[in-house]
Amino acid sequence: MLDHKSLSRSRRSLSSLALLAALSAQCGGVSNAEAARKAYVGLDRAVDRALSLAFDGFNAATSANIPAQTGNGDVMGTMLVEGQVSQGSSSNREMRLRVTLTNYRDTVRDNGDGGTGAELRLIYDMPQGGTPLTFDLSLRPPTFTGTMTGTLRMTGEIEGTVTLNLMMSGQLESMSGMGSRLMRVAGSTRIQGTVTSGSTTFNVDVMR
């Protein structure tokens, strides 16, 4: 039977282990499914913004190189989308793009955190020595498909690297009075795939 001193030491040991586990989860990277889910939630608006900037570049292009498109995070930082689009007489187009995030953070309320809707404080950047995300789109009016892959560094309330392997598809429509210019049909874009950090993977399946 434990005496008071032994019980007190046991409680202190359990408290220390719990604190160590919490610090490890927050500072050592995405270490559980809930943290991996939050890693994508913090990026969901960014993926949608990258799609919008890609179509802005497509519609502004007069050559194979699309004009570089820049957007701001809701809270801070920037997103740069640049690359090439195939040329020709066909309405079908292939886009080979790069997405660079710099100190990027959106305003995101996490409605999957038990209903509290707490704001996520997550900042995304390129890893040191890393490369931009690879973003490929295949336009086949009235539809499109695409992929976004690569690794980001995440800091803030969770720290670590996050690897994206996303697929997307949706409906296209011509911009009114703009001939060959295209825009996405609102609410038709499906984003699927995975977000992985360490040994933890979160499966993504959302509509935008």
The four Cα atoms 198, 136, 73, 121 give a dihedral, to 10 degrees, of -20
* Residue 179 pLDDT > 70: no
- Each domain of the chain, given as residue ranges in start order, spans 28-207
Q: What is the pLDDT of residue 22?
A: 37
Per-residue pLDDT reduced to its tens digit, 69-98: 999 999 999 999 999 999 776 789 999 999
Q: Write the CB contacts of 137 (distance below 8 Å, at least 6 apart in sequence).
A: 54, 94, 95, 97, 144, 145, 146
What DSSP letter does each residue of the chain carry, written as one string?
---HHHHHHHHHHHHHHHHHHHHHHHHS---SHHHHHHHHHTTHHHHHHHHHHHHHHHHH-SSSEEEEEEEE-SSEEEEEEEEEE--SSSS-EEEEEEEEEEEEE---EETTSSS--EEP-EEEEPPTT--PEEEEEEEETTEEEEEEEEEEEEEESS-EEEEEEEEEEEEEEEPTT-TT-EEEPTT--EEEEEEEETTEEEEEEEE-
Q: What is the pLDDT of residue 14?
A: 36
Q: Which amino acid is at 65?
A: N
Of 25-39, 126-140, 157-171, 180-194, which gets the smallest average pLDDT?
25-39
Confidence of residue 113 (pLDDT cuts 50, 70, 90): low
